[in-house]
Structure 1
Amino acid sequence: MENKMQDFPEPNYNVHVFYYVWYGNPQFNGKYFHWDHSLLPHWDPKVASGYPSGRHQPPDDIGANFYPALGPYSSRDPLVLEEHMRQLRTAAVGVLAVSWYPRSMNDDNGEEIDNLLPLVLDAADKYQLKVEYFIQK
């Protein structure tokens, strides 16, 4: 059953959320991004020595406090984008703040997102959501 805009509350353009598009999985990206980031060590080396080191090992062990209902998804999956936009609109969110790195730059755990942004813009527009960019450098 397709949702109609009247089925949703009006978007509140005073409500902004950070929407991170840096997640990847083998199906869409060839490997995991961000779900497999390094385990963060304790600041005290004595304490840190009592804990594991290395990287998270998805799909069961992910670098997140909560396991997503959609599993360790890819931000490039059109069905994930659609579902996220539907959820945001259901919550009356109005604006997505998307982190963006200048061309040929990315964070330590991800990939360039320039070619993903049109998909995000289209998915947001379908649900009458606005997108702003949080510019990283």
Structure 2
Amino acid sequence: MPWFQTPAISGYWGYHWTENRFNPDIIVDPETGRRQIASHFYPTIGPYDSADPAVIRYHLGLMEYAGISGLIIDWYGFRDINDYGQIHRSVELLISILESEFPSLEFAIMYESRTIQSLIDLGIIAPNEAVQEAQSVMLRLEREWFGSNNYAKLNGEPLLMTFGDPPEVFQPSEWPLIFSVLNVHPAFFTQNRRNAQANARGGYGWVYPTLDIANSEEIVRNTLELFYGEWNPQPDALTIGPAFPGFFDIYETSYGFVDSQWADGPTFQQTLQMALANSTAGIVQLVTWNDFEEGTVIEPTLEFGYGYLDMVKAFVESQKPKKP
């Protein structure tokens, strides 16, 4: 999530540290210097700015250390509305540093297509211009990033994901038209339920919070089994499995909860194992690097230290062929 801002870099505390009701200028623990932020968890380096080159290098270095192959970048398009323009500029800087200094890492785009609805709501485009707007986004993605040596490919096709179950802004049948302007069709993945009408190669899973906290482990396990099984009616649709450390959001109205510890051990470790066993696309998605508001954080925090990265590192090492 490249959506954080601080006064030192951007001149202000961004929404994702404040949610308009937290004040990071308030020190809640003078001994540690901990600030009031919109999260139950606290980054080891403190609240940071996604446009800070030092932070970017720190994050990418940690990913290399843990054996992570690359980044799926949450991205809101090129338009300079809301905070989308700031996010885009942070993404440009992130990709530039990755390409020049971390050549072993790949990146792919998670496109928040619902941002087109924001353009409609603001009167910037008309509803009947939504497909044309999405086509222009795809063309620019192809021109600027799809051809990068670091862009993640699946069978030679650039990996592209969209957040949310179709349809949100677009009907599934509109996605083929959106992609029709491209020279190379992307390896397109939608959330949860795969849909052939959307020209999707398959689907990716997510964290599945529940308000039934007492039975959260059973409910989440059952939901993952549905994702890996019954939600995929197409035998040739590929699956990207999610591995997540839990879910503990800070929203005024919570989406629910997933405990970080299940009966047989850490939730993250167990969902990693499930994803490895069921990810037919050959990709395991770590959910997430740094969504502090939802508490799905694997980057180092005061609460968990480097624990989650060490789990990833051990997991990656365990999959390497044994030397004779």
Distance 1:114 1:64, change over 3 A: same
Aligned to 1:75: 50
Q: Which runs of 5+ in 2 are unaligned?
A: 26-34, 115-324
Q: CA deviation digits over 1:73-104, x for unaligned, max 9?
A: 10000000000000011010012011111222
Aligned mate of 2:59, from 61, 84, 87: 84
Decide whether the 8 Å contact of 1:85 with 1:123 is kept in 2.
no
Give the corresponding residue for 1:124: 98
Aligned counterparts of 1:124 and 1:74: Cα–Cα separation in 2: 17
**TM-aligned CA distance change 1:22 to 1:36, over 3 Å:** same
Letter in 2 for 1:57: N
- Contact conserved, 1:94 with 1:129, CA < 8 A, in 2? yes
Question: Over residues 2-32 of structure 1, what are the superposed CA-to-partner deviations in whole Å (9 max), with x where a residue is unaligned?
Answer: xxxxxxxxxxxxxxxxxx1000000111111
- 1:37 corresponds in structure 2 to 19
Question: What are the equivalent positions in structure 2 for 1:1-137 lying under 5 Å apart?
Answer: 20-33=1-14, 34-38=16-20, 55-59=21-25, 60-104=35-79, 110-112=83-85, 113-125=87-99, 126-127=101-102, 128-136=104-112, 137=114
- When the two structures are aligned, how many residues end up with a matched partner? 100
Q: Report which stretch shifted further, 118-127 or 64-73.
A: 118-127
CA distance in structure 1 between the aligned counterparts of 2:97 and 2:78, rounded to whole angstroms: 22
**Larger radius of gyration between Structure 1 and Structure 2:** 2
TM-score (norm 2): 0.29
* Structure 1 runs not aligned, ≥5 long: 1-19, 39-54
Structure with the bigger RCO (C-alpha within 8 Å, sep 6+) is: 1
SS of the aligned residue for 1:119 comes to helix
- Pairwise CA RMSD: 1.7
Tell me the alpha carbon deviations over residues 14-57 of structure 1, each in whole angstroms, 9 at most, x when there is no partner.
xxxxxx1000000111111111114xxxxxxxxxxxxxxxx011
- Percent identity of equivalent pairs: 26
Query: Normalising to structure 1: TM-score of the pair?
Result: 0.66
CA–CA distance in 1 between the matches of 2:45 and 2:81? 24
